[in-house]
Structure 1
Amino acid sequence: MAEKSTTALETPLRDQLDRLAALPPGSFISLYLDLRPDHNGQRNHVQTFLKNSFDEQLRTMTGDTHVAFENTLERIRGYVNSTDLTATRALAMFASTTGDVFEAIPLDVPIEHPSMHLGSVPHLYPLARLNDQYPRYAALLADTNSADIYVFALGSTMRRESVTSDKMRRTRMGGWSQARYQRHADHWHKLHMKDVVDALDKVVTQERLDRIVVACDEVAKPILMEQLPKHLAEKVIDIVNVDVKSIEQHELLKETIDALRREDAKSDAEHVQRMLDAWRAGGLAVAGIEATIRALDMRQVEELLIAGRPDRVVGPADELIAKAQQNSARIRFIEDDSLLADVGGVGALLRFKI
């Protein structure tokens, strides 16, 4: 089965996280908004959340700090009110109250818990977690006559390629025995799958993807797997059985994301155990907040393992995320709280020891 890449280089929000993690300390508002309409199709809850959050913060401020914060809030309000966010499910915003930094990131995936944060650096934990939950991957939807190859990331379709075989329809079959017809069909099905695999290989290589989810029927499955070369087969994390002809694109996205989540739950446990074993043996791993921060400062970290909820991290979670992003380390959020509970919610696999 495929492994998650241990690099931060090819993730959906790489550029945004890199920019935000590299900002020098200052005064920042970090805002995460749930833009999904309510049961009446309205988004009044967004303005209510903004007003309540802003008022709560303003009550604690005076003088120049109050003025700077209020000016930044007006800029945020202006963006939300003037931008067409109809098709957007969530919004992450980062604004400096003392400088020019203002970045808005519309998202096609939900933010379950809207929040506002004030701090000396942007609050990147929720954004980095979305980056981990909705990775870039290939989804292959195939039968014996056609195929679609999708590249999904952050709940959106980034690319789509189609492969169609009409060779069987162009061939005259009159007078053939059933056995001869079946041999002929099998031959063209294999040729079709070879075309599909060639197209898949091209997409995976060009997009630098490390995970593939296959969706096909039982007839196509053995033909496809026979044609897959080793380097592609190793990237396949699951094969889901679907009705290829009728499945909608949003249903395919859900099916394949669910497959990723199942695999992630399994591989999360394996990675944590690998980290704990190496740490206890004095190998290429550290555990706990202080040792992990030291390793990040020394640029030793290959993969940061951190609890899926910041309140489960005994220490500065945002600092860990920012340092890992600055070091191009892989950030893996562990959704099962119990796995990292004994080490304060954080540990790391290392590139080297000092």
Structure 2
Amino acid sequence: MHTAQELFHRLADFEPDGAYVLSVYLDMSPHMSGKQPWRRISAITLRERFRQIEETLLPRHPALEGFRRDKEKVQAYLEHHAEPWLQGVAIFACDAHQLFEYIETGVSFHDQIMYEPYPDLFQLARLLDEQETTVTAVVDTNTTRLFVTRYGFLDEVAGPDDSPRGYSKRNTTCLNQARYHRKVENKRKAFAREAASAIEDLVLQEGARRVILAGDEVSIPLLHQQISPAIEPLVHEEVLRMDIRTPRHEVQEQIKPVIEYIQREESHQLADTMVERIRANGLAISGMQETLDALKHGQVDVLLLDQQAPLDETQRNELVRLAAQTDAQIENVTNHAAFQEMGGVGAQLRFHHHWV
């Protein structure tokens, strides 16, 4: 199974050659309802959409048998392999090209089932944008707990740990007291260096784009002093106050709004830059057709999309597919008033290009 990033680019380059691709996004979280309190409503949506799509292919459309085989594969996966703790799943199938890929997530998708000439990539692009890999470090003066957030899942990984040997105080004379405090301070600094090194190693190993620090008022300043210049730009400014014994699920709940805030701020900064460049007649554009033309000419550095932009699914998917093919960053922007007034579609450009 591919990572979401690898799958996204593979699907963007996928050429069905006349075949159709089944794209399935499902909200797998259980919903409280009636006699089946943990039933996934997405199962009803999926069944109804399969019926609707099949009706459009009857009686003898060339894609009918391929669709039925893809449908069976999707149903078999959901019945036998989809774990109950999943919050979302995206599936892409094309029987004619032996394509069957899926991504399981800890965040839900909007239920969407399409059978089209190309894979629909918008929600996958949103996942990659909004759920960038994040390293979280919860620290005190002798323990570091490290967490990695991927696609909405939170995993705890081994971090450096230091037992409190050497902290016991046997003598209370002024001289021994001073030596003791120096020893404690040196030990704390050494451990902060070790914790910072472990954080950097994990960031590089996971390709993380964000770092969140949590801990107490003693450990965090020491850790900040040891963070390398390479990692410092990734560190979120706000430090969470969190006890080293905080259960994993509570860690996830506390960092969730922080990750959402970071994403919102990053997207708004990109939208602000786009608006400013347009005012200055710089490297930016807005509008569906203008952005589409720029993508076709490889000009786009960052594609910005508002989920509420007045686009149909085909237009939106074409923008996303072209952005992926030209290695443009794709940014989901929400609640940015100026960007919404401009239609919710725009781009920062790599270069100006004039064509006939």
- TM interval, shorter chain, is 0.7 to 0.9
What is the aligned partner in structure 2 of residue 6 from structure 1? none
Task: Give the 3 Å change call, closer, same or farther, for CA 55–330 of structure 1 in structure 2.
Answer: same
Select between 285-294 and 155-164 the one with higher mean Cα deviation.
155-164
Is 1:31 matched with 2:24?
Answer: yes
CA distance in 1, matches of 2:13, 2:147: 32
What is the aligned partner in structure 1 of residue 59 from structure 2? 63
Q: Residue 310 of structure 2 contacts residue 343 of structure 2 at CA under 8 Å; is this kept in 1?
A: no
Q: Residue 309 of structure 2 contacts residue 343 of structure 2 at CA under 8 Å; is this kept in 1?
A: no
What is the aligned partner in structure 2 of residue 18 from structure 1? 9
Is 1:43 matched with 2:75?
Answer: no
List alignment gaps of at least 5 residues for structure 1.
Answer: 1-10
What do the CA deviations read for 1:30-52 (whole angstroms, capped 9, x no partner)? Answer: 11112222335533534322221
Count of residues in correspondence between the two structures = 342
Give the TM-score normalised by the residue count of structure 1. 0.87
DSSP-derived class of the 2:236 partner: strand
2:145 aligns with one of 148, 154, 157: 148
CA distance in 2, matches of 1:314, 1:171: 63
CA distance in 2, matches of 1:82, 1:175: 65
DSSP-derived class of the 1:32 partner: strand
* One-letter amino acid matched to 1:36: S
CA distance in 1, matches of 2:292, 2:199: 40
* One-letter amino acid matched to 1:72: D
What do the CA deviations read for 1:218-272 (whole angstroms, capped 9, x no partner)? Answer: 2212222222233322221133333323312222223223212212222322211
CA distance in 2, matches of 1:315, 1:49: 21
Q: Residue 4 of structure 2 contacts residue 103 of structure 2 at CA under 8 Å; is this kept in 1?
A: no
Select between 208-217 and 53-62 the one with higher mean Cα deviation.
53-62
CA distance in 1, matches of 2:71, 2:135: 40
Q: How far 1:159 sits from its partner (Å)?
A: 6.5
Q: How far 1:337 sits from its partner (Å)?
A: 5.5
CA distance in 1, matches of 2:134, 2:13: 27
Q: Residue 308 of structure 1 contacts residue 336 of structure 1 at CA under 8 Å; is this kept in 2?
A: no
Is 1:207 matched with 2:200?
Answer: no
What is the aligned partner in structure 1 of residue 348 from structure 2? 349
Q: Percent identity?
A: 25
Q: Residue 140 of structure 1 contacts residue 147 of structure 1 at CA under 8 Å; is this kept in 2?
A: yes
CA distance in 2, matches of 1:20, 1:153: 20
What do the CA deviations read for 1:97-133 (whole angstroms, capped 9, x no partner)? Answer: 644222222222222x212122211111111111211
Q: Residue 309 of structure 2 contacts residue 340 of structure 2 at CA under 8 Å; is this kept in 1?
A: no
Q: How far 1:171 sits from its partner (Å)?
A: 5.4
CA distance in 2, matches of 1:106, 1:136: 15
Give the TM-score normalised by the residue count of structure 2. 0.87
Task: Give the 3 Å change call, closer, same or farther, for CA 12–60 of structure 1 in structure 2.
Answer: closer
Q: Residue 304 of structure 2 contacts residue 333 of structure 2 at CA under 8 Å; is this kept in 1?
A: yes
List alignment gaps of at least 5 residues for structure 2.
Answer: none
Q: Residue 125 of structure 1 contacts residue 310 of structure 1 at CA under 8 Å; is this kept in 2?
A: no
Q: Residue 216 of structure 1 contacts residue 239 of structure 1 at CA under 8 Å; is this kept in 2?
A: no
Is 1:138 matched with 2:140?
Answer: no
Structure scoring higher RCO (CA < 8 A, sep ≥ 6) equals 1
What is the aligned partner in structure 2 of residue 4 from structure 1? none
What is the aligned partner in structure 2 of residue 122 from structure 1? 119
What is the aligned partner in structure 1 of residue 268 from structure 2? 269
* One-letter amino acid matched to 2:244: K
What do the CA deviations read for 1:290-320 (whole angstroms, capped 9, x no partner)? Answer: 2211221122222111113464679811001
What do the CA deviations read for 1:181-209 (whole angstroms, capped 9, x no partner)? Answer: 33332221111101111222222233333
CA distance in 2, matches of 1:293, 1:334: 18
CA distance in 2, matches of 1:285, 1:314: 24
Q: Residue 310 of structure 1 contacts residue 317 of structure 1 at CA under 8 Å; is this kept in 2?
A: no
Is 1:305 matched with 2:304?
Answer: yes
* One-letter amino acid matched to 1:269: H
DSSP-derived class of the 1:271 partner: helix
DSSP-derived class of the 2:230 partner: helix
What do the CA deviations read for 1:130-178 (whole angstroms, capped 9, x no partner)? Answer: 1211111211111111112222211224672311122x42455311444
Q: Residue 134 of structure 2 contacts residue 210 of structure 2 at CA under 8 Å; is this kept in 1?
A: yes
CA distance in 2, matches of 1:266, 1:83: 37
* One-letter amino acid matched to 2:20: S
